[in-house]
Every structure is written in structure tokens, then in C-alpha cells.
Amino acid sequence: MRRQIVWLITFAGGLFFLLEFLLPAKAPAWLGGFDNPLTRCRRGVSDFLIVVGTMAFLLGPINLVRAHFETLRRKAAGRAESIVFLAALAVGFLAMALRETPAKRIAAAAQKVLIEGLLPGFFNSSMALLAFYLVSSAYRAFRVNGLDSGLMMGSAAIVLLAQVPLGDWMTYALPDALQLRSLAQWILMVPNTSVQRAVLIGACGGAFAAGMRQWLGIGRRE
């Protein structure tokens, strides 16, 4: 029964947006020329979606807390990380909960430590580490084993050089068509664009099929 209700709400929501999009903004004159009545309700439905979406945010922390408590309970590997996560979550939660109480100064300080002190450091470190992995993976992955990998490496080298002044300095004296920036622009605008579009069309087809299945409840277990 619960499944049927969920499907019914999904179907009604999908139908609303489909009809709102397909029906003209104004009815023909011979019908009275009235505005599309669904458009008027659209804002309310959109607000409802925002509210439901915000509720879904709770699912993430709840699942994470359960997973980390489970790690601690089973004394599995990664207990230290679980403790750090749970402590940070508890401090963050308390800081938000206490911000309108007499303990608001402590709450603000705790939040400052977490958000302005620790988080930027963690974030910056993890992003900075990417540079090292990037060089290491470029060394291992870009090996010319044939025409296709050669083409890929050649394009990557041209685009990499053209995105820094060095590439321009190397070729700026050459005719326009032979400059690295022109070649990079051509790579990005022609082969790259065609491939991106092909991928996008495929992905959209898949998303449409998945959406239809979801909307019509096809393939659901009864």
C-alpha cells in the first residue's frame, strides 16, 4: 500500500509538470482565452519540492551516523575517523542548537573553529593533493601505445600548453592557424563539442527512459 501511495504521488507530480509544460500559456480565444491554471499552482508545487528536498537532507547525516556507530560497535578498521566524524557532527549540531541561548558565545566559537578553522585546512589539503596525483597519473596513463592514445596525448599536450602563457610564447610568431591557442580552440570547439554532445544525447536518452520508468512505475516490485 505504501508503495502505491509513493507511486501515485510521483505520477501526479510528473503529470502536473508535463501538462503545465505542454498546455499553452493561454487558451485559444474560442475557449475563453483563460490562463493556464496549472501555471498559477506551479510556484506552490515548486515550494513543496524545495521543502521535500530539504527534508531529504536529513537522510544523509542519519545514514552516516548509523554507519559510523556500526564501525565503532564492531570495532572495525577506521574507528578513529568515525570518532572524528561523530565528534565534529555533535559539535556542529550543538553549536547550531545553542546559538540562540545564553551559551551562544561558546556555540559561535565552536562553529568558528569547525567552519573557519578546520574545514578550510582539510579542504585545501585535499584539493592540493590532487596536483600530485594528477602528475603521477599523467605519467602512468598517457602512454602512446597506438594511434588513439597518441591522438589523446597530442590533444592533451596542446590544450595544456595553450591554457598557460608558455604555449602562446612558444607559437605567437607563427601564423594564426598554427598557433597553439588556435589549435586548442579548434580541439575544444570541434572534436570536444561533438563528443560532449554525443555523450549528452546518450545520457539524456537514458535519463528519459529512467524517468519514464519511475513515473509510470514500470519494473517496480509489487
Give the interface with other proteins as residue ranges (CB under 8 A): 43, 46-47, 49-54, 56-57, 115, 119-120, 123-124, 127, 131-132, 134-136, 138-140, 142-145, 153, 156-157, 160-161, 163-166, 168-169, 172, 179, 181, 185, 188-189, 192-193, 196-197, 200
Q: How far is the CB of 189 from other proteins (least distance, A)?
A: 5
Residue 26: helix, strand or coil by DSSP? strand
Comparing CB distances to other proteins, the nearer of 21 and 69 is 21
Cα–Cα distance measured from residue 91 to residue 111, given in angstroms and rounded to the nearest whole number: 8
84 or 144: whose CB is closer to other proteins? 144
Least CB distance from residue 69 to other proteins, whole Å? Answer: 26
Residues 149, 141: contact at Cβ < 8 Å?
Answer: no
**Cβ distance 94 to 107 under 8 Å?**
yes
Q: What does the longest C-alpha to C-alpha distance in the chain come to?
A: 74
CA dihedral 192→196→198→203, nearest 10 degrees, is 160
Q: Cβ closer to other proteins: 69 or 169?
A: 169
CB of 97 to other proteins, least distance (A): 17
- Residue among 186, 169, 168, 165 nearest 177 (CA): 186
For the CB of residue 105, give the shortest distance to other proteins in the complex, in Å: 19
Nearer to other proteins among residue 172 and residue 208 (C-beta)? 172
CA–CA distance, 78 with 71 (Å, rounded to integer): 7
Closest CB to other proteins among residues 1, 25 = 25
